[in-house]
Amino acid sequence: MTATIARLATRPIRIPLRRPWGPDVPDLSVVEVVVEDSDGARGFGFSWTPTIGAAAVQAHLDRDIADFAIGREAEASALWEPLWTHLHEGGGGGITTIAMAGLDLALWDLAGRRAGLPLTELIGRRHETATVYGSGVNLHYPLDELVAQAERLVAAGFDAVKVKVGSSDLSRDLERIAAVREAIGPDRRLMIDANQRWALGQAERAIGELAAFDLAWIEEPLRADDLAGHVELRRRLEVPVALGENLYTHYRFAEFIDGGAVDVVQPNAVRVGGITPFLRIAELAADRGVELAPHLLLELSAQLALALPGRHLVESVEDASFEALGALAEPAPVTIVGATVSTIGRPGLGIRFSGEQSDGAPSARPTEEP
């Protein structure tokens, strides 16, 4: 008899950042999700949102998602599409898919634990290692701190580095990127990320001048949902365009890819709704010949990259992995040596959060609750 979902419990967690991402981003918010099936087996997943929406995500999980999921087959790929269809009236992405990811990840973890397989093997391992690039959330850093960070990333062994741009004064960006290029040398890849700060004309001018520093890509130059603007900008540019951390469904990824708006797609495995839709987006990118670089969430993204065809860069933000932040109850499921990441072979996702950062007791929806 196929096991069904018997219980879903959530726990909110705040994780202080060692290096704040700005005055308004001193910590990260995680909603831990525990799913228990009718055989008593458990899986552990999570939803993630840096600043906005964690309480709404948890409420969505505790009510709408639990109401729909309890009693249904405890299998991620079978549940995802009907759950998304059911929730779509409240919004096709954003809070909806971020909340869905918590259950989807927990079900993948449950499947891995049942099979005794790590996530990469459960999906189907294709690589033993992946390449990691060093990243920083650093637009607010003074120039000397930015250069020091770039030098630390080089010393750590990274062959590619990403920094933030989008200052109100373009001359500041030019000074900073020139200093970073000097710090990392001419042979390492240099990526820049504008975090949606520019309008079309600003982006064309800024990238046109910043291109002198041999850029590997420009990330999120425009508002994430501006498809027409990205199509036009990419038509005007020679620098590759990367985006996707703020796209939420495979439909939107297909629109941006097929519209000719992007060279590198960057799905965030939580924001898109979990591993199930992430794999669908990866298949779409592979079919269209577009590069894919998973966004953030190192401990999860690296495991996914090792199961995908082709080679994919994995992002490592300085001092911001769950392990580096001291948020995990056990060693991380991946390990980095220089610019190379590999897995350690723990069944399931291998991501369990400690109880020290919890800001509230778990809530639960048992089988008998209406």
**Does the annotation count 164 as an active-site position?**
yes
Q: Walk across the sheet containing 5-16 and list its strands.
A: 42-49, 27-37, 5-16, 363-365
The sign of the torsion formed by the CA atoms of 217, 323, 351, 130 equals positive
Q: Among the options 162, 230, 295, 312, which is catalytic?
A: 295
Number of Cβ within a 10 Å radius of residue 59: 16
> Under a CB-based contact definition with an 8 Å cutoff, are residues 67 and 55 in contact?
no
> Under a CB-based contact definition with an 8 Å cutoff, are residues 120 and 345 in contact?
no
- Which long-range contacts link 86-94 to residues 24+ away (Cβ below 8 Å)? 87/60, 90/60, 90/64, 92/248, 92/249, 92/251, 93/247, 93/248, 93/249, 93/252, 93/271, 94/53, 94/248
Q: Among the options 162, 164, 230, 312, which is catalytic?
A: 164
Residue 309's SS3 state is: coil
* Radius of gyration of the chain measured on its C-alpha atoms: 20
Q: How far apart are CA 217 and CA 132, in angstroms?
A: 16
Supply the residues annotated as catalytic.
Answer: 164, 295
